[in-house]
Amino acid sequence: MIDRPYLLVMTLPCYIDAQGRRFVEELWHKDLVEHLAQIRDLTLAAPLIPWRPDLKLIPIDPSTFEGTLRHVDLPPCDSTLRTLVNLPRTSARLWKAIGASDIVHSNAGGWPISFGWVAIPMARLRGKFALTNVESGGWRMGFNRPWRPKSLIQAVAFESMARVIVNLSDIATFTHSGYRDSMLMARRKDRGHIVCASWIDRENILSRESAEATWREKLADPARPLRIVFAANLLPSKGIAVLIAALKELERRGVAVELDMYGRGPMLDECVEASKALTGSVRMTMKGMLAYGEPFFRMLLEHDLMAVPSLSDEQPRIIYDSFARALPVVASNTPGVVQCVTDGLDGKIVPVGDAKALADAIEWASNNREKLRDLGINALDVANALTHDQMHARRAELIESALSRVAMSHD
């Protein structure tokens, strides 16, 4: 475990109820548990806001953690204006918390700004060890965001600040090499490390025997339509329009496909209309939301292929979820995807935004179920190599190594 006082600075809020109990959202709680499995003395600096009954929140129970957890309550940051108004108070509290810590960890992104923009420069000013984590680049332009003046200004500002703090840091971790290579100066490349994003736990991963038995059941009826699943927020950046266009092409070809779509978001109406229009060999069914956990992993077993037609450079964690169930993916050749998917080994990679290529890959999968099974079985090796706890352990090892390097340089 990391023994030195560790400050984790987040824009994700903590919630507090009338009794003073603290809560966080479900997946953030899962991540917090893994942080405390590696860090003995953790202080969490995060906005504190009132408890909300409409969210699935998990109580923070310090007695269940391996390490010690303390809190630094930051002002709310639910709008740009409110965040800027509260910035002096936020900065003052971070300054004090950084003074009591040896290690300061924050993110390059966040909404409406990243507190790492404040925390990392402060950490370096005070001689503390600084770590910046880059999991996504949602601020970037292109397929991610519409080309509007406000979006362009935000993209430039976020990209500039992200580059500043990753280059100030003693160590920076990235979900893929595209982020590292575009953000880190060449002379600082040794400070950048790739740690892919995974939520899966060991118990989520099928044994090889179970995976082979599952695939024998899937292959028992060769006339059954290919079953595909899509699970993500219904956003343009997820490639939904490309997927719908591919389904229309498959229906034109007469390829039998069943797609189950899980998620919600601004493209819901468009997806519903598409599902009603597909009345031939292709069936598309809207399934709503399914909470992450055992029901979600059981659902994955019902399918033959996961569709990840992403348009952005982010790394979808759903890839590792699929691999854990021996489910191959058909995915775009974006930087985040190709970091963890190998074409022809554990999935099929197609050009980003290319509906015809996506349709071709799905048709190939329909006609080559045995080979599709091989891709799924191979995917288990990738899942076993990076569980959620392994991801955190890998980061902890990098921090310890970097701390040793810094200490040696000061001798």
Q: What are the pLDDT tens digits along the chain (411 aa)? A: 899 999 999 999 999 999 999 999 999 999 999 999 999 999 999 999 999 998 889 999 988 887 899 999 999 988 889 999 999 999 999 999 999 999 999 999 888 889 999 999 999 999 999 999 999 888 876 655 566 787 788 888 899 999 999 999 999 999 999 999 999 998 889 999 999 999 999 999 999 999 999 999 999 998 999 999 999 999 999 999 999 999 999 999 999 999 999 999 999 999 999 999 999 999 999 999 998 999 999 999 999 999 999 999 999 999 999 999 999 999 999 999 999 999 999 999 999 999 999 999 999 999 999 999 999 999 999 999 999 999 999 999 999 999 988 766 654
The DSSP annotation for 177-194 comes to HHHHHHHS-GGGGGGEEE
- On whether both 393 and 381 belong to a single domain, the answer is no
- On whether both 49 and 143 belong to a single domain, the answer is yes
Write the CB contacts of 164 (distance below 8 Å, at least 6 apart in sequence). Answer: 117, 121
Give the domain CATH number at 211.
3.40.50.2000
- On whether both 96 and 169 belong to a single domain, the answer is yes
Whether 251 is covered by a domain: the verdict is yes
Whether 405 is covered by a domain: the verdict is yes
Which H/E stretch holds residue 258? Answer: strand 257-262
Whether 302 is covered by a domain: the verdict is yes
- On whether both 298 and 150 belong to a single domain, the answer is no
Whether 310 is covered by a domain: the verdict is yes
Whether 120 is covered by a domain: the verdict is yes
The tokens describing 59, both together, are 């109580």
- On whether both 183 and 160 belong to a single domain, the answer is yes
Question: For residue 71, what is the DSSP state?
Answer: E
Domain count within the chain: 2
Residues 56, 63 contacting (CB under 8 angstroms): no
Q: Is residue 19 classed as helix, strand or coil in its secondary structure?
A: coil
- On whether both 132 and 235 belong to a single domain, the answer is no
Of 237, 239, 232, 229, the C-alpha closest to 365 is 229
- On whether both 173 and 134 belong to a single domain, the answer is yes
Whether 104 is covered by a domain: the verdict is yes
- On whether both 237 and 370 belong to a single domain, the answer is yes
Domain that holds residue 266: 202-385
- On whether both 244 and 257 belong to a single domain, the answer is yes
Whether 1 is covered by a domain: the verdict is no
- On whether both 140 and 287 belong to a single domain, the answer is no
- On whether both 26 and 142 belong to a single domain, the answer is yes
- On whether both 82 and 19 belong to a single domain, the answer is yes
Whether 379 is covered by a domain: the verdict is yes
Residues 312, 143 contacting (CB under 8 angstroms): yes
